Amino acid sequence: MGKTRDDLVALNASLLADHQTQRLTEATQRVFGDAARLRQLAIDKQNVLADKAQGWMFEQLEVIKFNLDAVRKGSRLYAATTDSLGQTNHQTTDVLISNGKAFQFKSGNKASTSAFMLADKKYADVNLVAPSDQTEKVQELYAKRIESGALKSTDYQNASEKLHKGVEADGISSGGTTYDEALKATDIEQANRIASSFEVKAALSDMHQSGMNAGKIGAAIGAATSGVVGIYQLSQGKTTYEVVAAQVIIDTSKSFATSYLTTACSKGVIHGLTGAGVSQTTIGALTKSNAHVAIAAGIVKTGQSVVRYLQGEIDGDQLAGEISETAITSVSAFYYGAFGQAIIPIPILGAMIGSTVGYFIGSMLHQSGLIGLGEVAVVKVARERRERIEAMCLESIPLLRQHRLELELLLKTHFSERSNLLTQAFDGMEKSLVSWDADGFTQHLESVNQAFGKSLPFKSFDEFDAFMKKEDTVFVL
């Protein structure tokens, strides 16, 4: 498969995958927001006793873990604390799931403390969560108190039935959080480290899942285009079925890998900007224009060129040329993709058409040498040829001038001598006519003929008279 086809397959597959996985990216960005809130909570609660502050950290950790699991499984569900939703005085719910499921959290330093707090009647209608390392012990305590017929046995029974190891809904689960985890997160430095870990996990999950989606699309497009080319070559008798089948497999694999890398990289660009503190407004504008896909495509192509250079497949000049072409085509694909999406409001279709047109325009501009970060091969060859011709001309000009002066001098001398000879000859011929001197006239006429490289057949009147008297003389007029 040609390089241009490879690039376009990866670009269009990435655009399609980016559109299809937009929801996944938004979920990942939500995890970034949750992680930022964990950091902020550690700062806000730094003057609160750790055994008290850990309750807020416990809730936020559970939210992050649940939302991270949703990203990994591609679920639309997400969790949020009531505090983050502005419901700071909610009496019975600490965490809400987007499907309406509610959870109440209690985290004591002992299982008995957590069990007692969760058995409050006001929590009878919500799901309950205790630190995961206490859950089993809490259930044992409830079982004993229910069996003993304690005064609050009904409350203990309800709490036992509502108790969960962590936030969970429709196959998505936080997996639970221990008391020590929540306590450790109250430290600002630890909170920052934990938040960063969750951000990396969420970003990598989005990059992998989106990359797989793009890889599948790219593999399908690559196989189809390779198959069409192979069938055409078969119809022309230029190849065999075995060769076509092998080429389709190779092209499919290449398209999968390139599309995967391009899309994964494009998601990495978005999450990297988020981690760097770029505003969501700026990132939103970037994603709408598909700039991140163009940037990622350029990064992947540049990386491939560098690898080829390191492996000795291309030299430094070729590397510079390829990087230059990548930069020009990527920028052109981005601008025309944004323009195409603007004039063709059909989701993703306008961007795909515009990016394809932009890629070809950028490639033509680069190959023509009108725009570039360095010389392309064709332009370099033309420049070197021009420089050689220019050097030859500069060397020849002084020689030509010298030869011209010599020729002019020779011509001047030659015509001067010939002019004097002809003048003398014509003067002699005129005098001979006046004096009726036939031999003298013939002599001067011979001088005229010699001046032009010729000679008369008769040098005197006697020779002419003898010739005329010959019987075999024939005149041809």
HEC string of 35-76 equals HHHHHHHHHHCCCCCHHHHHHHHHHHHHHHHHHHHHHHHCCC
CA–CA separation, 350 and 19 (whole Å)? 12
Cα gap 434→412, rounded to integer Å: 33
Residues 6+ apart with CB under 8 A from 453: none
Q: Check if the beta carbon of residue 335 is closer than 8 Å to that of residue 358.
A: yes
CA distance 315 to 298: 20
Residue 40: CB atoms within 10 A of its CB come to 13
Cα–Cα distance between 323 and 314 in angstroms, integer? 12
Q: Which residue has the higher pLDDT, 359 or 466?
A: 466
Contacts of 192 (CB under 8 A, 6+ apart): 39, 42
Q: How many other C-beta atoms lie within 10 A of the C-beta of residue 149?
A: 7
The more confident residue out of 172 and 449 is 172
Instruction: Of 96-110, 114-128, 429-443, give the lowest mean pLDDT range.
Output: 429-443
Say yes or no to pLDDT of 391 above 80: no
Query: Residues 189-201: pLDDT tens digits?
Result: 999 999 999 999 9
Residue-wise pLDDT tens digits, 127-152: 999 999 999 999 999 898 888 876 77
Residue 90, classed as helix, strand or coil, is coil
Q: Among the listed ranges 80-84, 211-215, 239-243, 433-437, which one has the minimum average pLDDT value?
A: 433-437
213 against 407, higher pLDDT: 213
pLDDT score of 357:
65
| 119-129: average pLDDT | 91
Q: How far apart are CA 161 and CA 139, in angstroms?
A: 9
Tell me which of 97-101, 124-128, 230-234 is least confident.
230-234
Q: Is residue 226 scored above 80 in pLDDT? A: yes
Range ranked top by mean pLDDT from 124-138, 267-281, 301-315: 124-138
Which residues make beta-bridge pairs with 164?
129
Above 80 in pLDDT, residue 117? yes
Determine the pLDDT at residue 417: 66
Which range has highest mean pLDDT (142-146, 344-348, 358-362)?
142-146
The pairing of strands 172-173 and 163-164 is: unpaired
Q: Can you list the alpha helix ranges (DSSP code H) found in 346-437?
A: 349-368, 377-435
Q: Is the pTM of this model over 0.85?
A: no
Structure tokens at 308: 């080829």
Mean pLDDT rounded to a whole number for the chain: 79
Measure the CA–CA gap between 415 and 279, rounded to whole angstroms. 90
**pLDDT reported for residue 126:** 92
- Residue pair 185/42 in contact (Cβ under 8 Å)? The answer is yes
Residue ranges per structural domain of the chain: 47-185, 386-469
| Residue 362 binned pLDDT confidence (cut-offs 50, 70, 90) | low
User: What's the CA gap between 429 and 208, in Å, rounded?
Assistant: 110
